[in-house]
Amino acid sequence: MTSTATITLTAPPGAAPEPPAGRRWRTSLESVAIPAGAMLVALLLFGIFCGLAGASPFSVYYSIYRAAFGSWYAFQNTLIRAAPIMLCALCTALPMRLGLVVIGNEGALVMGGLGTVLVGAYWVSAPHYVALTAMALAGMLAGGLWILAVGAMKIYRGVNEVISSLLMNYIAIAILNHLVNGPMHDPSSLNKPSSFPVPDANALGNIPGSRVHFGLIYGIVACLITWVLIEHTSFGFKVRMIGGNLRAARIAGLPVGKISLLVCFLGGAAAGLAGMAEIAAVQGCANESLAAGYGYAGILVAFVGRQHGLGVLLVAILLGGILASGGMLQRQNHLSDATVLVFQGLVFLVILYSESLYGRFKFFQERTHGHQ
């Protein structure tokens, strides 16, 4: 477990005692320096990889920077990709705080997208904002119930949530394929079987002055709500208590089952909302492109962002940038589009490795002797 609560519990023996407030800059520095160092190491390894593949590492770095963060235009591409990732990441991050490892993000996103199409493509007479609200609610409900089922199987039947949510991904994709080839099939979609499109009147627009759709706002708001809910409310305290010590939480009389189901629902609803934004702002209709891997990216973002609302927000933007640089690497450096996958994998492997480094450097240990 990597949640912040358990990290303090599993601090290595002999760690410095809790220093007085106001003198904890070394620990704060550690939590910035280690991920930053990991990022640099990942860039270095990736540079070596690109060098071996015959591309100049510095030219590759420059391409990534330019394509991801180099200009407002480029940064908007990053943000468009970050939006579904941060919402999907919450689908793992929230249940993780309870101690449940849910990896059904892709399935919840797909179900959310299907729920959205069901409302958006068929309820065309509704006023714009009514339709959008209904679509968002349908997406959240579909995604939420999908992960709620995972939680219910865990609580009532003891079914391992990692496996069940993984299986549910495949089931969701099968349902998607069945619906877009059968009951929802639009006969005019020849090359790629798709559902009936969501009409333009029901499309999710862009944030004024940008090319970024409102899904980003959904994502940011969801991350902020998660942050406040988990870190700053008594409900969040209960959630963290269940995640930290299930038996203690039971003995304290917490309604573990109800809280777990609610948190699973919220996580699934976030991923469902990602599906809604993908349908209503990007794809326009449901087809196999809906399962584009945002769900799996979200799992990693949740772990790397330490299941923390704000951490997820930042890491999702970082990953959005990596994904956005794919085209540039192909055009400028003549590298395969799979290079982005390699880079993504490397970054996450190194950052996960860096989790083991906390408390290993003397420099970051608080010095209490001068104070006592």
| Residues in touch with other proteins (CB under 8 A) | 1-2, 7, 10, 53, 101, 103, 153-160, 162-164, 166-168, 170-171, 173-175, 177-178, 181-182, 296-297, 299-300, 303, 336, 338-346, 348-349, 352-353, 355-356, 358
Nearer to other proteins, 102 or 136 (CB): 102
Query: Please, what is the minimum distance in Å from the beta carbon of residue 290 to other proteins?
Result: 14
Write down the least CB distance from residue 323 to other proteins, Å. Answer: 11
Helix axes 326-333, 339-354, angle to 10 degrees: 120
Residue with tokens 């208590």: 241
Are 267 and 94 in contact by the 8 Å Cβ rule? The answer is: yes
| Cα Rg, the chain, nearest whole Å | 22
Q: Identify the DSSP state of 323.
A: H
Of 6, 18, 38, the C-alpha closest to 355 is: 38
- Report the residue number, 86 or 168, with the smaller CB distance to other proteins: 168
Amino acid, res. 113? G
- The identity of residue 17, as a single letter, is P
Work out how close the CB of 170 gets to other proteins at its nearest, in angstroms, rounded to a whole number.
4
Tokens representing residue 69 in the block: 């963060």
Shortest Cβ 83–other proteins spacing (Å): 20
The smaller minimum CB distance to other proteins, of residues 225 and 349, is found at 349
Do 246 and 256 form a contact (C-beta atoms < 8 A)?
Answer: yes
Q: How far is the CB of 254 from other proteins (least distance, A)?
A: 16
CB nearer other proteins, residue 25 or residue 353: 353
Rank residues 121 and 300 by Cβ distance to other proteins and give the closer one: 300
Residue 371 C-beta: closest distance to other proteins, Å = 28
Cβ of residue 210: shortest distance to other proteins, in angstroms?
29
DSSP 88-101: HHHHHHHHHHTT--
Shortest CB 161 distance to other proteins, Å = 10
Looking at the DSSP bridge assignments, the partners of residue 195 are: 185
Phi/psi of residue 195, nearest 5 degrees: -80, 175
Q: Are 98 and 226 in contact (CB under 8 A)?
A: no
Q: Which residues in 60-78 are b (16+ Cβ under 10 Å) and which e?
A: beebbeebbbbeeebbbbb
Nearest one of 10, 229, 6 to 99, comparing CA atoms? 6
Rank residues 105 and 116 by Cβ distance to other proteins and give the closer one: 105
> Smallest gap, in angstroms, from Cβ of residue 46 to other proteins?
11
Take residue 226 and report the two structure tokens written for it. Answer: 């998660």
Nearer of residues 202 and 325 to other proteins, judged by Cβ: 325
φ, ψ of residue 213 in degrees (nearest 5): -75, 170
Which is closer to other proteins, CB of 167 or CB of 207? 167
Q: How far apart are the first and last CA of the chain?
A: 34
Nearer to other proteins, 10 or 133 (CB): 10
